[in-house]
Structure formats: C-alpha cells, structure tokens
Amino acid sequence: LRHSIFSGIFIGLSSVLIKLVFNNSDFINGFFWTRIGFILVALTVVFSKTIRTDIYFFLKHSSQKSKSLLVLNKLLASMASISLQYSIQVGSVILVNALLGMQFVFILLFAVLFKRQIPAIRENMQGKVLLLKLCSVAIIALGFAFIFV
C-alpha cells in the first residue's frame, strides 16, 4: 500500500511538472526534454546488472514471434506516450489522468474478448474476482461523473 501511495504521488507530481514544461515551451521542445529526462532515468535502471541479465536472457531464449510482439508493443506504447503528452499540453492534467483510468477498463475488455484467441491470457473471471473487477469499473465511471458534474 505504501509503495502504491508513493507511486501515485510521483505520477501526479510528474504530470503537473510535465504540464509546467508544456506551459513554458511548445510541444516539440517539451516532449523532447521530458523524454530526455525519462531516458536518463531509464539508463540508471539499465546499469543494474540484474536487469541487464534479464534482458539478455529474454533476447537469447525467446522466439522471433515474442520479439516481434515486444517491438509492436513498444511502438504502440510510443504512440500512446505521444498522444498522452499532447493531451497534457492542450488540456487539463486532471482530466487526462482521469482518462488514464480507462486503460484498465480496456485491458479488462480486451482480456475478455481475446481470451479464446490468445490462450496465454489467463484472466480470472469467476465469482468474487469478477465482482471486484466490475466494482472497479464502476468506481472509474463514478470518478468521471465527479469530474464532469
């Protein structure tokens, strides 16, 4: 719980600082400098021997299909990141972050839709777990209601 709270605080602070950058520059410069900051943080993670070992193990032991899916995933994540940054630049940080909650609704929806086509998706949809997931979707919808009313 403590890590989740700190994570939420840092994500919120990051979003506000990104908005501050975009308020003081155009989109291209703001996007460039925020990405440079993220790259510097990522480099500190890559210098971890444990993480480097995990990356090399993945590259050596995974199939070409897995590697292709990883590249596709990173391309989609890049498009999502650009869209997110642009949304923060032109809109409200509060609204953009609230809309990020929709990603969990889409993840749940895609897990249900592709469960048969992709057997590796093992999403628990039984009893209490399903009820908790539906309650989470309701809480996200309630959050939107509070923002828009």
DSSP class of residue 62? S
- Say what the pTM is: 0.62
| Per-residue pLDDT tens digits for 49-88 | 888 888 888 888 888 888 888 889 889 888 888 888 888 8
Place of tokens 């994540």: 77
Residues 33-60: tens digit of each pLDDT? 888 888 888 887 777 888 888 888 888 8
* Vertex 72: Cα angle to 71 and 74 (nearest 5): 65
d(CA 89, CA 22): 5
Percent of the chain with pLDDT over 90: 1
Helix (H) or strand (E) holding 142: helix 127-148
